[in-house]
Structure formats: C-alpha cells, structure tokens
C-alpha cells in the first residue's frame, strides 16, 4: 500500500504545464454532472461550466495538484463568487418591515418565527403577522411559535382582507412598540395568479423593506420558474433557502441566483427555531459541487508543497533518475500536508475509506530505513549488499526483511518509470492521472 500512497503523491507532481480544453474535459464533465445532480437547472449548469472553461484555458497548473483538482478549485471559487454576490444584510430603518413569500410547504411560517428569533437576538423587538387567511392551522402554528419565542403576534381570524390585515398589523406593532414586523403570507402548492395578486396588494399597502422568497432547498428544476414569477411580480430582495439539513444539495439556489440575481440571505438547517443561519456562500458551493473537500485539499497542497522542489521532482521522474533520496523527500512533503488519513478523507469518494491502522507507522519506518542509509546508498541503491542491509536494519531498528521489502518496492517503481520514459506508457500515464 506504500506504492499506492506514493502513486498519489506522484500524481500530484506530474508536470502538466497549462490547463487546456483536453486536460480539463473530464473534470468539467464531472462538475456538470455534479451540478445537474444537485438540481441545478440544465441551462444554468451549461452556461456556468462554459464560462469556467473559458476562464481556465491557458492557466498555469500548480505543479502539486492535478489539473482536475485545480479545475474543481477554480469552479468552486467561481461558484462562491456567484452565490455570494449581493448582501446578506437586511436593510431598512426601524420599524423594519419584512414580507415572507413562497410556495406552500417551503418553510415560510417556520422561517418567519426563525427570523423573528434571530432579529430579537440582534436587539429588535419583532412582531410576526399572520397573513395566511386560507389556513387557520397556519395562523395557529405561527401563534404557537411566536409565544414560544416571545415574539409579538398579530392575526385577525375573522377577516379575509389581506392588505387590511397587513395595515392593522402595522398599527398593532406601533401599539406594542415593536420595531420589526414580519408578514407571513399564504402559499399555494403551485404559483397561481390570484395568490400573486393578493401578495402584490399587500406589498403595495405595507411597503416592506424586504421581500424574502422562502425556497425549499430540495426544489428541483422548477425552482427557476417559481422564483422568476415571484421576482417579476414583487421585486424580491432576498432568498431564504430551507431544509439544508436534509440530503438536498441546494442546486436550486444557484439556478435562482443566476437567473434572478436575488441574493441568498439565510438558510434553514432544521425544524427547530434555532436552526437558522446567515448564508455562507462557500459552504453552499461545496455542497452543490459535492466534491468532498477537494478545495481544501488543493489549498493545502498549494500551501505546503514547495513549487520549485515539485518541479525538480517532476523533471527527475521524466528522466527516470528518481532515487531513494528523492523518495524520502517526497515522503516528507506528503507528511507536511497532514496525516495520511486526513488527506484521504478530503478526496471525493474516499471519505469513508480507512487506511490500515499502521499506515502512518509504516511510513515512519520507511523513513527511518532511508535515513539509516548513506547518501551514496540512497543515490545508488544497487550497491546495497547483505552487510549494508543488515547495518541499515540495525540503524533503523527494523528487521532486515523490511529493508528488503522497501528496496523491492522501490525497484518496481523504478521499472515503472523506465517504462513511462520509454514512451510505451501512455496508458499507464493515463492510469496515474485517473
Ligand atoms: P409553509 O407552508 O411554507 O409555511 O411551511 P412550514 O413553515 O409550515 O414548513 C413546512 C414543513 O417543513 C414543516 O414540517 C417544518 O417543520 C419543515 N421545515 C421548515 N424549515 C425547515 C428546515 O430548515 N429543515 C427541516 N428539516 N424542516 C423544515
């Protein structure tokens, strides 16, 4: 398994010069698939990868990562930029008026209470107003949550006149000296014209500072239509993405953001009123890409692996004059990146893979063996006869069979590299890149 681990390190060292359409193709394909399976609208996914491709071609590849990893990193950064555009802050003088809109079941009522709780923590005195006149249960639900969080509450169970209820809520807020009013409006299973008309009227009457669309994070491709309709009618000021505690990857947010430009302001991460956070674009980007943590792997590699050193090593590999001294320094580079297990854990699809318990110890032993050799021996391992091997084993505190094993592995590696150098190794090279 030492060879496997080394293989990984070597992959990171291959001397790919620049990103090109060819060496990026696979990575881009993977990313597009990741976006689609995260429910990103196909048009958005296509435009996004095309733009990233145009950006990537011609870029220098950091020698210590594969082009694939580098592309993922560029895509991640672009995704963070796109998702993070605009402000997550709520704007408006006190009393701050916020209108919550969205489809039925998106988490509107829950998010109304969650937002009230969060604003209360920030020093506001919030009042929540029930403007869903079609479902008495929704009014009750909001009342229970408001009482639980000690928020002001307004409802008029006898009225069906939503704009009038809104205005009455403003008066009630004034009386109660509340300085923040959150209107929970009605939702439907699907967008319909009557609903939109009603919410538009309410908006005109209460003049909210913020109109926030609540979107279920698991909403698929239709997210775009939902958001567009609401945005065209109401000029949304922000999005709240809910149910991010589930399996949903939240791709709908990217589609909505790309098409409407409306910033994401908060995310819901559970059923409890405390499960609510200010939006962090980097977290959502990693989630949408579903790429394990390639990004931090790339960052780590860029930080710790010495570029010049890596270049020298790549050159040696090309010439197949890699010796045990190089092997040692290679191993030390890998060690600088952190524990083997944590590096493996950051690789996509590998997070569940456990290394044998003694992998790290093995590496330590290998290091000790090489360190017990003279410089000459490291450079020309073929001079290692029985006597020398025994001396090295004693020096490293290991059995001579371990020294033999290491030398055998090393010979195999050298053979492999000679094959690559011979030019017959295209297929092998490809395997190493995989
Ligand atoms: P509304 O019809 O849009 O007002 O939706 P509700 O607020 O009634 O929420 C619908 C369901 O989704 C309820 O069972 C909520 O508990 C649940 N819900 C809302 N937000 C979240 C969330 O962030 N995570 C999870 N797991 N459930 C949520």
The verdict on residue 90 lying in a domain is no
Report residue 199 as tokens: 């919410």
The verdict on residue 211 lying in a domain is yes
Single pTM value for the model: 0.68
Domain of residue 157, residue span: 96-278
Report residue 52 as tokens: 């990233």
Q: For residues 272 and 313, state if they share a domain.
A: no
Query: Is residue 244 marked as binding?
Result: yes
Residues whose CB is less than 8 angstroms from the CB of residue 104 and which lie 6 or more positions away in sequence, other chains included: 186, 187, 188, 189
Q: How far is the CA of 217 from the centre of ligand 1 (A)?
A: 11
Q: Rounded distance, CA 14 to CA 63, Å?
A: 7
Q: For residues 143 and 225, state if they share a domain.
A: yes
pLDDT of residue 350: 47
Peptide bond before 95: cis, by omega within 30 degrees of 0?
A: yes
Residue nearest to atom 14 of ligand 1 (CA): 271
Residue nearest to atom 19 of ligand 1 (CA): 107
- Pocket probe for ligand 1: among 106, 107, 144, 270, the residue whose CB has the most ligand atoms within 8 Å is 107
The verdict on residue 227 lying in a domain is yes
Report residue 358 as tokens: 């003694």
Q: How far is the CA of 331 from the centre of ligand 1 (A)?
A: 50
53-58: long-range contacts at Cβ-Cβ below 8 A with a sequence spacing of 24 or more? 53/21, 53/24, 53/28, 56/19, 56/24, 57/19, 57/20, 57/21, 57/24, 58/18, 58/19, 58/20
Q: Where are the beta strands (DSSP E) in 192-237?
A: 210-216
**Residue 408 backbone phi and psi in degrees, to 5:** -65, -45
Total number of domains constituting the chain: 2
Would the CB of 108 count as within 6 Å of ligand 1? Answer: yes
Q: For residues 241 and 328, state if they share a domain.
A: no
**Is the dihedral angle over the CA atoms 329, 330, 336, 341 positive or is it negative?**
negative
Within 10 angstroms of residue 222's Cβ, the number of other Cβ atoms is 15
Q: For residues 310 and 353, state if they share a domain.
A: yes
Would the CB of 273 count as within 6 Å of ligand 1? Answer: no
Q: Rounded distance, CA 160 to CA 421, Å?
A: 80
Per-residue model confidence as pLDDT tens for the chain (434 residues): 223 333 333 344 344 566 777 767 766 777 787 788 788 888 888 998 888 888 888 777 666 666 666 777 787 888 899 898 888 899 999 999 999 999 999 999 999 999 999 999 999 999 999 999 998 999 999 999 999 999 999 999 999 999 999 999 999 999 999 999 999 999 887 778 898 999 999 999 999 999 999 999 888 888 888 999 999 999 999 999 999 888 787 888 989 999 999 999 999 999 999 999 999 898 888 778 765 455 555 655 655 555 566 666 667 666 667 788 877 777 776 666 655 555 555 554 444 455 566 667 777 888 889 988 988 888 888 899 999 999 999 988 899 999 998 888 888 777 766 765 554 444 444 444 43
Q: For residues 225 and 267, state if they share a domain.
A: yes
Would the CB of 271 count as within 6 Å of ligand 1? Answer: yes
């Amino acid at each position: 398994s030492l060879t496997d681990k080394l293989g990984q390190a070597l992959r990171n060292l291959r001397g790919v010069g620049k990103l090109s359409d060819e060496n990026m193709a696979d990575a881009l394909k993977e990313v597009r698939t990741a976006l689609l399976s995260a429910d990103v609208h196909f048009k958005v996914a296509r435009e996004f990868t095309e733009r990233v491709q145009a950006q990537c071609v011609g870029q220098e590849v950091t020698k210590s990562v594969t082009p694939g990893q580098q592309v993922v990193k560029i895509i991640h950064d672009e995704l963070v930029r796109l998702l993070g555009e605009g402000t997550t802050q709520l704007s408006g003088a006190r009393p701050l008026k916020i209108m919550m809109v969205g489809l039925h079941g998106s988490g509107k009522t829950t998010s109304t209470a969650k937002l009230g709780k969060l604003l209360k923590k920030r020093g506001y005195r919030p009042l929540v107003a029930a403007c869903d006149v079609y479902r008495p249960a929704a009014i009750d639900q909001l009342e229970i949550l408001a009482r639980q969080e000690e928020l002001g509450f307004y409802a008029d169970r006898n009225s069906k006149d939503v704009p009038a209820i809104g205005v009455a809520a403003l008066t009630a807020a004034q009386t109660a000296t509340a300085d923040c009013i959150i209107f929970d409006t009605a939702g439907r299973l699907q967008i319909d014209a009557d609903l939109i008309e009603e919410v538009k009227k309410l908006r005109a009457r209460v003049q909210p500072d913020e109109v926030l669309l609540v979107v279920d994070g698991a909403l698929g491709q239709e997210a775009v239509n939902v958001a567009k309709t609401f945005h065209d009618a109401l000029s949304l000021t922000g999005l709240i993405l809910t149910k991010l505690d589930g399996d949903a990857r939240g791709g709908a947010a990217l589609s909505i953001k790309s098409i409407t430009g409306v910033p994401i302001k908060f995310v819901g991460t559970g059923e409890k009123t405390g499960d609510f956070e200010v939006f962090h674009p980097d977290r959502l980007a990693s989630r949408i890409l579903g790429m394990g943590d390639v990004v931090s792997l790339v960052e780590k590699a860029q930080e710790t692996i010495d570029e010049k050193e890596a270049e020298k090593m790549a050159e040696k590999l090309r010439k197949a004059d890699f010796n045990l001294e190089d092997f040692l320094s290679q191993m030390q580079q890998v060690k600088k990146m952190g524990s083997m297990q944590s590096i493996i854990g950051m690789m996509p699809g590998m997070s569940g893979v456990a290394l044998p318990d003694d992998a790290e110890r093995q590496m330590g032993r290998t290091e000790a063996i090489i360190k017990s050799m003279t410089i000459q021996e490291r450079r020309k391992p073929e001079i290692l006869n029985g006597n020398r091997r025994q001396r090295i084993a004693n020096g490293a505190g290991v059995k001579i069979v371990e020294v033999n094993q290491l030398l055998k592995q090393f010979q195999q590696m050298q053979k492999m590299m000679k094959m690559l150098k011979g030019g017959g190794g295209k297929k092998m090279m490809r395997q190493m890149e995989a």
